[in-house]
Structure 1
């Protein structure tokens, strides 16, 4: 039956309407993607206006204004890339929604930056490049501006590539590259750079091993117990109390070090007191919840949800207190240089701290979900227990490394912990599959022995004589078990490559920017 002309016109019209709807949807999505960019530009414009109002029109003020805008851009990229490591496990484990995680992280990051971050990072301004080797004030200002912008550009690219990298390594690479371009190889502190290079290997290995060990411990103590509820009542308070003690020490040592640095004995006493209080409080809470729980793994995992959220919040506070300096450290060094005190330690004005705190929080809210989904969902599947292991291992590993004087990166530790948990799951799944396969073969062997009236005499390991299962009899099962991967290798390779190129690439970008600045910008010539 042939279609009537009206029917043909109707079909063509339907197709055209579908195309129009599809184009409108694409345009709408494109418009939504432009919203974060527009808000970022508004933030940088506000930074420009605020800094101009603070510095006035004195000679050299324009350098501080330009540096403040670049520092705001760096803070946006820190929020977009680095904060994801703290919140990703909680989101991946469904302990927090994306909106809840963004809100908690933004508040805690800003609080950490404003309360405990008011100091210049001497390593950024003096530890990598000796200001005395630079000499000229204009060259030093150009060096710091190039380092800040080069590090920010690399972080922007890494976020677009969905690669969580170390913001500290980025700014260190930027200072190194611009410093080498300004003063040559003799101006660099190569022992410090060697320690940073060592952390590329040390940090993820420590984080991965610590997280895998904690997961194995919880699996043995609680998850594999016959009565999981009873095991949870016994061990969850202990584990959470250890976590509370570790995080209290972590918070004081890393997050509050700018305002309070107690001696080691006082830090240990504080941790012991927190452990005792948490043990009693959590024990009562778990005892109250236990009667309503069944014996499933999912039910037991709910006991770790609240500690996971608190751990993520404390990690964000400590991160804001420490890593805000990666944005405002070079900015403060530039302000000091313009005022004639290059390389000196200065007090950071409140308006500079506000730029760093607001920039990190806004960058997290606008661009953070991309990296949160990568770390929390795309590398491996997380539940509250696994995510809790990631958060706890991050705090414990940073504390232990600091006590031993090992150079580590909190970013590398956190991401390494996610990979460690995933690889431990792979090993456990393959081992479990092998045991189940052997059990099925053993049952078949026993059934055959009964049918053939063979005396069911078993050896010491439980197998019937002559009936031990041969792995070669089931090659398909072996191949499937060997190929079962619970960690996406392509993400592992991408992130590892990004870690390796962070310092050299930031250095190259910053060196090129420095050379361009001293040639093109008046007042920055050496």
Structure 2
């Protein structure tokens, strides 16, 4: 007879201990989920204390301290949502680990914000409203507060549902809503708003087309060549050089204006110089890296990994240089208005305000960024180093083209649109490419249907004809994610505007 049968107390004790173990495990799981929000709240509290050291003794210090905490909350959300577009493709392509991506992005985002972040910003987000129309400095401060709170809340919601959205559009919507609530519809520059609305379409479409064109070139010139390694040695240095020239021109125009001002012609010359030097060096690099590699697609992936990691770092630097103003621009406007008791269209961002923005973006990325990084890199469509390289290259080139034409464009919409473009192009290519079919037939390839999960990159659909239902089942871009993201894009400005108007009216009533 067993011990438990003869000792009912022991059996009861075992059950109780087992329950305690389960309760402890459940508590640990819940506690782990609360770590990130807890650290985020700690950062907001430290930000308030940090701001208090710079405003100690001032008559309206409480307003600045509250605004600093709200700006820090905005920065956390930018890091959680927007930065995923820079490193997500590299993580999805397995060119770097999630931990490595978080480290690289945090370092380069902070460097871009502190080294090349603009010291003078347009406090009303590109002229959306006329500050003079808002009225008193106190009303302007409330409008900027409402814009910060609403845009931060909207980005937080978008992150929660897994939709990468434009932080610039969120701020624009917040400023517009507060301006309408404070001074009516006539205070809004509707011509500028029309351009911004047009960028909802222009950004993803142009980004997607450019990414698809580069992927088509890589497939034709490298992947489906009989001697892949020789083809890579011929064409990959050119692609790397284009990337270097594009990033050099982009960073010169948009990211380094604080360090030294350069005209469009000067940026083009710098970009061409980097293109030429990089082309020469890339020949040496690719030739050395390709020694001894087998003639297969896996070898090509290894050749694209290093350029992809570098592009992710450069995108993060450029993002930090340009988007930190989204977090601290309204905060800087509040600080200036409180100090000077007047409203101005442009203000200088104090260093301590810039530090809050840079730190918040990096901390938000580390604490909350992995969710969106996985979404962008893994869940929209399957990426490898070649496809992710096309996404990064497309993002840089599209922003340069838009800047040259004077068009407002969203880096988020561009990068995600490039991922859409790569995925939709693959769907079309796998079904219609005669070159691919001839290449596979030459190699005698016949695949077994496996729901698009083949180890080889572009062999997800069999060569034989399949039914429409089977093709639909194997779509390479997840439509549910596309619908969610596009819906979030379309509703960002009106949702942020409505929320901001309500918040402004509440603040106005309380005041």
Partner of 1:468: none
Going from structure 1 to structure 2, the CA distance change for 1:13 and 1:490 (only over 3 Å counts) comes to farther
Q: Does the aligned pair in 1 maintain the 2:92–2:382 contact within 8 Å?
A: yes
Partner of 1:167: 167
Higher mean C-alpha deviation, range 52-61 or range 425-434: 425-434
Higher mean C-alpha deviation, range 98-107 or range 15-24: 15-24
Partner of 1:483: 473
Structure 2 residue 507 is the aligned partner of structure 1 residue 517: yes
Q: Say how many residue pairs are matched.
A: 488
Going from structure 1 to structure 2, the CA distance change for 1:361 and 1:439 (only over 3 Å counts) comes to closer
Q: Cα distance, 1:257 vs. partner?
A: 2.5
Question: 1:313-462 to 2 correspondence within 5 Å?
Answer: 313-338=313-338, 339-431=340-432, 435=437
Structure 2 residue 474 is the aligned partner of structure 1 residue 495: no
Q: Cα distance, 1:5 vs. partner?
A: 5.0
Going from structure 1 to structure 2, the CA distance change for 1:379 and 1:515 (only over 3 Å counts) comes to same
Q: Does the aligned pair in 1 maintain the 2:207–2:418 contact within 8 Å?
A: yes
For structure 1, the 5+ residue unaligned runs are 444-473, 522-526
2: CA distance, partners of 1:75 / 1:204: 24
Q: Over the residues paired in the alignment, what is the CA RMSD in angstroms?
A: 2.6
Partner of 2:58: 58
Q: Does the aligned pair in 1 maintain the 2:79–2:362 contact within 8 Å?
A: yes
1:181 aligns to what SS in structure 2?
helix
2:415 aligns to what SS in structure 1?
helix
Structure 2 residue 114 is the aligned partner of structure 1 residue 114: yes
Question: 1:12-27 to 2 correspondence within 5 Å?
Answer: 21-27=21-27
Partner of 1:137: 137
Q: Cα distance, 1:352 vs. partner?
A: 0.5
Q: Deviations over 1:65-89 (max 9, x none)?
A: 1111110110000100000000101
1:127 aligns to what SS in structure 2?
coil
Q: Cα distance, 1:29 vs. partner?
A: 2.1
2: CA distance, partners of 1:224 / 1:406: 37
1: CA distance, partners of 2:308 / 2:406: 28
Going from structure 1 to structure 2, the CA distance change for 1:491 and 1:478 (only over 3 Å counts) comes to closer
Q: Cα distance, 1:64 vs. partner?
A: 1.0
2: CA distance, partners of 1:121 / 1:248: 22
Q: Deviations over 1:9-45 (max 9, x none)?
A: 9999888776655543332221111111111111111
2: CA distance, partners of 1:16 / 1:128: 64
Q: Does the aligned pair in 1 maintain the 2:123–2:332 contact within 8 Å?
A: no
Going from structure 1 to structure 2, the CA distance change for 1:478 and 1:71 (only over 3 Å counts) comes to closer
1: CA distance, partners of 2:347 / 2:17: 64
Partner of 2:453: none
1: CA distance, partners of 2:352 / 2:215: 44
2: CA distance, partners of 1:210 / 1:378: 21
Q: Deviations over 1:455-498 (max 9, x none)?
A: xxxxxxxxxxxxxxxxxxx8755542343211111000000000
2: CA distance, partners of 1:208 / 1:288: 32
Q: Deviations over 1:44-103 (max 9, x none)?
A: 111111111101132222111111111011000010000000010111111111111111
Going from structure 1 to structure 2, the CA distance change for 1:476 and 1:229 (only over 3 Å counts) comes to closer
2: CA distance, partners of 1:358 / 1:60: 25
Q: Does the aligned pair in 2 maintain the 1:80–1:368 contact within 8 Å?
A: yes
Question: 1:56-205 to 2 correspondence within 5 Å?
Answer: 56-122=56-122, 124=124, 127-205=127-205
Q: Does the aligned pair in 1 maintain the 2:123–2:346 contact within 8 Å?
A: no
1: CA distance, partners of 2:337 / 2:80: 29
1:121 aligns to what SS in structure 2?
strand
Q: Cα distance, 1:266 vs. partner?
A: 1.8
For structure 2, the 5+ residue unaligned runs are 446-463
1: CA distance, partners of 2:390 / 2:202: 19
Normalized against structure 2, the TM-score is what? Answer: 0.90
Partner of 1:253: 253
1: CA distance, partners of 2:30 / 2:483: 30
1: CA distance, partners of 2:209 / 2:92: 20
Q: Cα distance, 1:243 vs. partner?
A: 0.8
Normalized against structure 1, the TM-score is what? Answer: 0.88
